[in-house]
Structure 1
Amino acid sequence: MTKLTHLDEQGRAAMVDISGKAVTSRHAVAEGFVRMTSETFELVRSGANPKGNVETISELAGIMGAKRTSDLIPLCHPLPLSKVKVRIALETDLPGLRVSGEVSTDGKTGVEMEALTAVSVACLTIYDMLKAADKTMEIGGIRVLEKQGGKSGDWAVL
């Protein structure tokens, strides 16, 4: 079994010591979705939401969320992010919005948490912007799709 790295010898929470790790290029991609009624989906597609453009505002919120990850997740290291890209796509089959987040840095630790936070905050923003129209929305499928760099190497969902 893999040793949990966020616990010290006494089993207490501790931030992982990365001082001896090399700086390498790190990259991660995450995704999630917000499922909604067909009527709410059409409200988004038509651009008629009274709170404004759902996609643009939620993409911006996701970028801001990625930048604040270490403030939200107690044992995450603050990282100098070199790239954060959040994209939202309309998916008729859900119906709803698919959210993707892509984050890069040159650092001593990965950016998976930043990518997941970007997607999560974007999904929450979508919900907030549309909750007056649809209280039954579902946020789901939030996961890492790929990561690159670091000691454990590259990984991707097949």
Structure 2
Amino acid sequence: MFRRDIYDASGGYRPVFKYSQDLDLWCRMSHHTKFYIMEDVLYKRYFAVKGSVSGVPRKSIEQQLLAEFSRYCHLNRINKNIDPYEVDPNFALLSFERNDKINYEFFRFAILSLCRSDMVAFDEYKEALSSSLKGIYYRFVLSIASLFPGTLINYFIKKVKNA
């Protein structure tokens, strides 16, 4: 819950953040107010429900990338006192480089999809890795894994579970 004046002062929801609008809004509201944690549980979160954002790989990928971009904007507001998206939205989106953690997450989801024989999800996560050098390495490994699933899946399952 939040007050309407804080919502208005932070600029409200920004449509470009689509599946990560809440994170973006809360990050921007943190510059206008203090947050407090309530002890009461107000809702229960479900993960990977069919048709939900977390349950559809394409939406999940977009959500994770936009969440990372939102954190990038937030850190810039804290450290440099500017929001790159507000200065120049097109340049901010083009110059944003995702970190290795998100590449690893896409890699991990791809391996888990392969283990479940969900080739549609596997291909979507594999495709999401194509825009960075580390991602290209992960794509290469995934290509090999898809050719020899029996041998490599056990190895990757151990790696993913231990990470």
Q: State the TM-score, normalizing by the size of structure 2.
A: 0.27
Q: State the TM-score, normalizing by the size of structure 1.
A: 0.27
Report the structure number with the largest CA radius of gyration: 2
> Of Structure 1 and Structure 2, which has the larger fraction of its residues in helix?
2
> Of Structure 1 and Structure 2, which has the larger fraction of its residues in strand?
1
